Structure 1
Amino acid sequence: MRIIFMGTPDFAVASLEALLDAGEEVVAVVTVADKPAGRGQKLQESAIKKYALSKNIPVLQPVRLKDADFLKELKSFKADLQVVVAFRMLPEVVWNMPPKGTINLHASLLPQYRGAAPINHAVINGEKESGVTTFKLQHAIDTGNILFRERVAIADHDTAGDLHDKLMYTGAKLLVKTVQAIKANMFEEISQEVDAENSVLKEAPKIFKDDCKILWNKSVDDVYNQIRGLSPYPTAFTDFQGKILKIFTCTREKITVDRHPGEFVSDGKQYLKFATKDGYIAVGEIQLEGKKKMKIDEFLRGIRL
């Protein structure tokens, strides 16, 4: 079965690697165009492009997915199936091209957490489990018929980065299972509509800078989950002595507080804690604006509070 793979970040690399290790025939990879990044604004290749080139797989990098030349080239590979992992929304002319259609691997238990940031939002909302879903693409984003799902537990201390890695490897295995099931015609499609009608759906929209600012008047649990859910990227932050302080890790103390939300206490050596509505957040790994990321004891040695 001839497969075209579409993806961009590291999350997608694990899936492509798993397909190749399983002996599947990936005839081409579609990814984003190279983008300037860093101080030198040098063109950076996507993670999936680097990996595909290392395996001598042809790479397509369209700027517009409806471009006639791109569509002609895509069609020339005569793919039976297209696989999408962390890419972008496809027009119907693309997802409807191969005879077996296009499948997507999504980092949530659909229909929950449809959208661009399912991993972050699951942790921010304090979920105890998440998972991965493979489904057939159709017009509305993340709404196609489900093929397979796999659950993954979220530990109380897991960050979005930890959950990302769990889902990345679980998803890669599930994708191989899905492709092999399609090849053998041993699968059934399950509509998302029944679940969607009978439950309150939680969305996973794109995260913006305003979503990352910590509101210390919230509960200690909400702030703790926000910090975990935005770590390591895009990272929760607060204003601290006139600068932006990013917080990557923390612990929580659910106790009666005698300070206003956002006020901090510290021994100047080992701990720095911020008051919330009903407890304290003790920061662990942080980064002050203009400085490198560091542990709290190292940070406190070099700053006057």
Structure 2
Amino acid sequence: MKEKKDLNIVFMGTPEFAVTILEKLIKEEYNIKAVVTAPDRPAGRGRKLKGSAVKECAIANDLPVLQPTSLKDESFIEELKQCKADLFIVVAFRMLPEIVWKIPAMGTFNLHGSLLPQYRGAAPINWAVINGETETGVTTFFIDEKIDTGEILKHDTMTIGENETAGQLHDRMMVLGAQTVVDTVEMIRKGEANPQPQSEKDLKLAPKISKQDCLLDLDQAIVKIHNFIRGMSPYPTAWIKLQHIESKEEKTLKIFSSEVVNSENGKPLKLIKEEKKLLLTTPNGALDLKEVQLQGKKRLDAKSFLAGFPVDEWQIITE
């Protein structure tokens, strides 16, 4: 049996979510032979090239970094083979071609932000919240030819708070996921892994979300509106459209967090200032809006927003 430090790993990931997992593997003293991440991209007003969060972490820990434009590039494939890795670990990265995931002798596994087979796809955290789930989790599974369909190695569950946003859940899930990955590595290292095939029954999917999908449907039940706001926060963010009653000027208002006030029927569609609260009333109930952002302005808590915005001069318009 190999000691921990003798297990050679190639880690693949790009965003902040993957950083926590990489840092955990480093802390546990696994031998990271290379880190694979996305090419540098223009960022900021100056559009200067900037490396991914995973790249910054790798450099800070003196780890070799590979940034292929194409995952099928022959020189990249050769670099991977030269790493002589026992295991590839993938967290929030691109779909790997078979020629890549078949390289390591112990296999390639991925960490996914849901309890597979539920919520396969690009946005599992968002859709679990949008759909009002009270429980979710993380799954490690061996990669195969299709997306998120490989044999499951480990599930770990976590609850979702009734007012918790996708962003808050994301941050908690990073910590859980880091431990799940280490536990999975140890199962594989010790020969104790027992991969199980995924069911294909009654699946809920998690497709990619675009900004165009974020306009609130205010005809829905108030709890569904609330869940949609939570599931879209902090990005790409749910929004409504406002129109000035006199000038007819239109602005969008992003909504980052809310709480259900009541689910009574028959109220008009309106933004209301009630003491220091910003309420959104609908025919199916009302929400207490906690954080919002007016088009062209900064993100503010409700109290600060109300101090500079006359809600009684604006009306909600629907498309």
Query: TM-score normalised by the shorter chain: which range applies?
Result: over 0.9
> Where does residue 300 of structure 2 map in the other structure?
294
* Contact 1:220 1:253 (C-alpha < 8 Å) held by counterparts: no
Instruction: State the AA in 2 paired with 1:152.
Output: M
Distance in 1 between residues matched to 2:263 and 2:104, nearest whole Å: 58
Deviations 1:134-168 (A, max 9, x none): 10000010000001110101111111011111211
> Where does residue 317 of structure 2 map in the other structure?
none
The alignment status of 1:92 with 2:98, answered yes or no, reads yes
Where do residues 30-45 of structure 1 align in structure 2 (5 Å cutoff)?
30-45=36-51
Where do residues 256-267 of structure 1 align in structure 2 (5 Å cutoff)?
256-260=264-268, 262-267=269-274
Distance in 2 between residues matched to 1:99 and 1:164, nearest whole Å: 31
Deviations 1:252-273 (A, max 9, x none): 122434444x422224x52222
* Contact 1:231 1:248 (C-alpha < 8 Å) held by counterparts: yes
1:228 pairs with 222, 227, 230, which one? 230
Instruction: State the AA in 2 paired with 1:256.
Output: E
Instruction: State the AA in 1 paired with 2:220.
Output: K
Distance in 2 between residues matched to 1:84 and 1:180, nearest whole Å: 16
Deviations 1:81-109 (A, max 9, x none): 10000111011011111111100000100
Instruction: State the AA in 2 paired with 1:254.
Output: N
Q: Percent identity?
A: 48
SS, match of residue 6 in structure 1 = strand
The alignment status of 1:20 with 2:26, answered yes or no, reads yes
> Where does residue 254 of structure 2 map in the other structure?
246
SS, match of residue 119 in structure 1 = helix
Where do residues 132-147 of structure 1 align in structure 2 (5 Å cutoff)?
132-147=138-153
What is the count of residue pairs matched by the alignment?
299
SS, match of residue 116 in structure 2 = coil
* Contact 2:11 2:35 (C-alpha < 8 Å) held by counterparts: yes
> Where does residue 12 of structure 2 map in the other structure?
6
The alignment status of 1:46 with 2:18, answered yes or no, reads no
* Contact 1:2 1:25 (C-alpha < 8 Å) held by counterparts: yes
CA-based RMSD of the aligned residues comes to 1.2
> Where does residue 86 of structure 2 map in the other structure?
80
Tell me the CA shift for residue 51 of structure 1. Answer: 0.4
Unmatched segments (≥5 aa) in structure 1: none
Deviations 1:38-76 (A, max 9, x none): 211111211100000011000000111111111111111
Distance in 2 between residues matched to 1:301 and 1:32, nearest whole Å: 43
Unmatched segments (≥5 aa) in structure 2: 1-6, 244-249, 312-319
Range moving further from structure 2, 38-47 or 84-93: 38-47
Range moving further from structure 2, 237-246 or 216-225: 237-246
2:288 pairs with 282, 290, 303, which one? 282
SS, match of residue 33 in structure 2 = strand
1:180 pairs with 168, 182, 186, which one? 186
* Contact 1:123 1:159 (C-alpha < 8 Å) held by counterparts: yes
* Contact 2:109 2:142 (C-alpha < 8 Å) held by counterparts: yes
The alignment status of 1:212 with 2:201, answered yes or no, reads no
Instruction: State the AA in 1 paired with 2:270.
Output: E
2:204 pairs with 202, 206, 209, which one? 202
Structure with the higher strand share, 1 or 2? 2
Distance in 1 between residues matched to 2:255 and 2:271, nearest whole Å: 14
> Where does residue 162 of structure 1 map in the other structure?
168
SS, match of residue 49 in structure 1 = helix
1:104 pairs with 102, 106, 110, which one? 110
Tell me the CA shift for residue 233 of structure 1. Answer: 1.2
Instruction: State the AA in 2 paired with 1:88.
Output: R
Distance in 2 between residues matched to 1:5 and 1:81, nearest whole Å: 9
Deviations 1:231-258 (A, max 9, x none): 1111111112311111111111224344
- How does the TM-score come out when normalised to structure 2? 0.91
